[in-house]
Amino acid sequence: MIGSPDPLHRAVPPGPPTPIVRTAGADDVPELVRLINAAFAIERFFKTGDRTTVEEIRDLARRGEFLLLEETQGSALGCVYWTRHGDDGYFGMLSIDPAHQGRGFGRLLIDAVESRCRAAGCPRIKIHIVNLREELPPFYRRLGYAESGTLPFPIPEKATVPCHFIVMTKSLA
């Protein structure tokens, strides 16, 4: 019998394979750039240009780590960047391919980042979100994050309207 039996003893087909999370390598940089720019295209209502470049991703990879979410056949579904800021963990550039959004893949990557931060001994994890993305604070609050401050937008020349970052923090204890 394929899958697990149901109470009526019919064969229940197995669900789709679980995607895997792996550490991205140098060969993945072009795919990371594609994923991030596609996912962040939604931000064009307040800023100009792409979210990132090959050079920026390479630079960030020297200071932290990108995680890549893939289907078992190797197709990229999403990615996220994480690093340490002092004792705390930090993640950003959470990106899910627009064709695969709304399926829980973002949560899967956040779980992976939180797990890595716990393993690294980080007591807290932080994220910076743009205040104009009003859908994001409620999403992160549901995951246990709370607003803990603000920061200036780092590249104001790319902003078409005034904006700033909201810092959200979660205890990992």
What pLDDT is stored for residue 4 in this prediction? Answer: 46
Q: How far apart are CA 16 and CA 18, in angstroms?
A: 6
What pLDDT is stored for residue 173 in this prediction? Answer: 87
| Beta bridge partner(s), residue 112 | none
Q: How far apart are CA 37 and CA 44, in angstroms?
A: 10
What pLDDT is stored for residue 1 in this prediction? Answer: 42
CATH architecture of 20-122: 3-Layer(aba) Sandwich (3.40)
| Beta bridge partner(s), residue 170 | 125
**Phi/psi of residue 62, each to 5°?**
-75, -25
What pLDDT is stored for residue 11 in this prediction? Answer: 58
Q: What is the pLDDT along the chain (173 residues), one digit of tens a residue?
A: 445 454 555 555 555 668 999 999 999 999 999 999 999 999 999 999 999 999 999 999 999 999 999 998 889 999 999 999 999 999 999 999 999 999 999 999 999 999 999 999 999 999 999 999 999 999 999 999 999 999 999 999 999 999 999 999 999 98
Domain residue extents for the chain:
20-122
Residue from 133, 132, 171, 165 nearest 150 by CA = 165
Across 125-137, b (16+ Cβ under 10 Å) vs e yields bbbbbbebeeebb
pTM: 0.88
Q: Three-state secondary structure along 58-85?
A: HHHHHHCEEEEEECCCCCEEEEEEEEEE
What pLDDT is stored for residue 10 in this prediction? Answer: 57
What pLDDT is stored for residue 36 in this prediction? Answer: 98
Q: What is the pLDDT of residues 70-91, one digit of tens each?
A: 998 889 999 999 999 999 999 9
What pLDDT is stored for residue 143 in this prediction? Answer: 97
